[in-house]
Amino acid sequence: MELSVKLNEGVASWDTVIFLYNSALKEVGTKLEILNDEFCHVHRYNPIEYIKSRIKTPESIVKKLKRNGYESTIDNMVKHVNDIAGIRVVCSFTSDIYRLAEMIGKQNDLTVVSVKDYIKNPKDSGYKSYHMMVTVPIFLTDGVVDTKVEIQIRTIAMDFWASLEHKIYYKFEGNAPEYISRDLQECAEIVSKLDAKMLSLNEAILRAREQEENLKGQMFGG
């Protein structure tokens, strides 16, 4: 069932939309926590550091609609704003991002609508993150409504950079001085080098641990 089919203009429809998006956040958030717990159970390792969720404010929704040339209606909001319900998943390493994205894609009751890989293809500003737009079925008393949720997956370093960029964007309303934009891009390069170095270090630690366990096995197994 299309989300817009259930809606009429007015306060009640707005409340219905927000209820559905909040329900979708709960569904996807629970799935991510279960995936993290299962991964920890099987591999003794947590790929997820923390999860944050939010519903876009009415002001932000209206601004986005106007920016893209749409009237501020409930129907346009549902059809054309894909990040009303958003979940940010923060991982330790870049390898965790792709591992987690693969796990999400295999969920039978989630539909991956689109993927934007800003890690392999960063934005001009230096922004890096992995975006998945999914739909999740919300079961109501009179039917099922597929509801959109945007999932952003990034490392701790990427998240720190993105938070700073977000503050700068709103401070200068998207028109930051050139020197600030340049410094921000330089910071993005530093973040990329840090992520690569931390991943390399983690892989070295894992190899050393494996060698140590193999050595113990040879000593006590023979």
Token representation of residue 187: 């910071």
- Give the count of alpha carbons within 13 A of 168, CB side only: 19
Closest CA to 85 of 60, 108, 107, 120: 60
- Cβ proximity of 216 and 204 under 8 Å: no
String of DSSP letters for 46-67: -SEEEEEEEE--HHHHHHHHHH
Q: Which residues pair with 52 in a beta bridge?
A: 88
Closest CA to 56 of 167, 160, 150, 172: 150
Amino acid occupying residue 79: K
- Per DSSP, 44 falls in state S
- Per DSSP, 156 falls in state H
Token representation of residue 129: 């993150």
Closest CA to 59 of 72, 78, 42: 72
- Cα distances (Å, whole numbers) of residue 158 to 33, 98, 149, 192, 203: 21, 14, 21, 8, 20
| Residues annotated as part of the active site | 150
